[in-house]
Amino acid sequence: MSNMSQSVPFPESVSRISNLRIGAGAIGLVLGIFAAIGLLTQGHESFNTNSNISWGLPVATYVFFVLTSTGLTFVASLAMVFGMKDFYPIAKRCIWGAIATLVTGFIALGLEIGNPLRMIWVIPTNMATSSPMWWMGLFYLSYAVFLVWKFLLVNKGDWTSGQSKVIGILSFVTVIFAHATLGSVFGMMGMRPFWYGGMVPVYFLITAALSGLAFIMLFINLDYGMNQANMSDKVRSAMTRYMPPIFGLALGLVLVFTLTRTVTGLWSNVPELNIPMSYIVGTFWYQAEIWIGMVLPLALMLSSYRSNAKVQTLAGLLVILALFIGRYEYVVGGQLVPMFKGAWYDDLLMYAPSMTEWGVVILAAAIGLLLYAFGEKKLSLADAPNE
């Protein structure tokens, strides 16, 4: 197999960013372990979640990263399932990124669950098929297997054999079901109107796609030192001709989706929908999410600067932050109205993550970052098939 992209020599800026990334990952690892000491010594008492706000920052982090993995697989599938060859030059990076973000998500979830190891035997032996969470587990596990399998094949240079194609299709199909069942974990909760709705899987689909695209904008530009001169012609073509409009389109759709959700919430008479939405809209974070994290990057993607690597990097970073805020608002927002608590809690519940919870996020993200950096150094992520 040819390594056409590797024929471009890596200049100093690339290795500097690569080293910075490893450094950031290492610092994150140390900080994360330091904070996770709370988890080892006090267990989940060191979380600020409680019997009223049961799912906090670590669950929002899980949702964010596994949906990012979903989005990266969508982009890889453009080439490997739908035959859009222009995306081959970034496909291997997308698959490895999908693995790294999936691992990150599962670490965040694993450190949040009370008895994570027990899952290994109680989930397969009890077949709780009425639970959306059971299906989510089944599909994300299948997806993880197919994704790693596909990467191993691609890493051996097998892009287009029958087996490789089938595994690629299976990873795409399982991740469609995986994100949809994750959406249903929230969307099927009729007792929580803030989450409820059959369209939640669609909302997750579009935001997942945007999340994956934003990571591509950030990470691939960083991989090439935020300079398109370092890219091969085909990577440059993918990143300048195809990615900006797709990214902009997804961003526009998510902006519309976010605004319609907001307006519906503000307009609604249902207290469980209206009251938390009114509260959220009044926060700095919501305003930052909309204006800095969505409107500004959308304006950048509509401007003539959209092909500029540094602009793309910035837009990717801003969208990632906005989506993270959005996941947090969604997960925590659905729990702000106290569930049948009367005057014990006569206002919205208050929750702010503890240091340990932030530590879990930093630890998971650092491991993901180091995993990606390892791939970038050792696994020839620039590979693409021979034409």
Nearer to another protein, 41 or 163 (CB): 41
User: Which residues would be at the binding site for another protein (CB under 8 A)?
Assistant: 43-45, 47-52, 54-55, 113-116, 118-119, 122-123, 126-128, 130-134, 137, 185, 189-192, 271-272, 275, 335, 337-344, 346-348
CB of 338 to another protein, least distance (A): 7
In this structure, what token pair is assigned to residue 221? 């530009």
Taking the complex as a whole, the smallest distance from the CB of residue 61 to another protein amounts, in Å, to 15
**CB nearer to another protein: pick between 30 and 128:** 128
Minimum distance of another protein from residue 369's CB (angstroms) = 26
Which CB atom, from 60 or from 370, has the smaller least distance to another protein?
60
Q: Is the CB of residue 224 less than 8 Å from the CB of residue 14?
A: yes
Q: Find the shortest distance in angstroms from Cβ 236 to another protein.
A: 45
End-to-end alpha carbon distance in the chain:
10
Please give the structure tokens belonging to residue 327.
């996941």
In the complex with another protein, the residue whose CB is nearer, 85 or 192, is 192
Instruction: Give alpha helix (H) positions in 5-131.
Output: 12-42, 57-80, 88-110, 119-126
User: Judged by CB, which is closer to another protein: 44, or 85?
Assistant: 44
Beta carbon of residue 190, minimum distance to another protein (angstroms, whole number): 7
CA distance 157 to 152: 9
Q: Closest distance between another protein and the C-beta of residue 374, in Å?
A: 30
Least distance to another protein from the beta carbon of 348, Å?
Answer: 7
Nearest residue (CB) to another protein, 233 versus 347: 347
Nearer to another protein, 59 or 217 (CB): 59
Instruction: Write down the least CB distance from residue 179 to another protein, Å.
Output: 17
Output 182 or 320, the one with its CB closest to another protein: 182
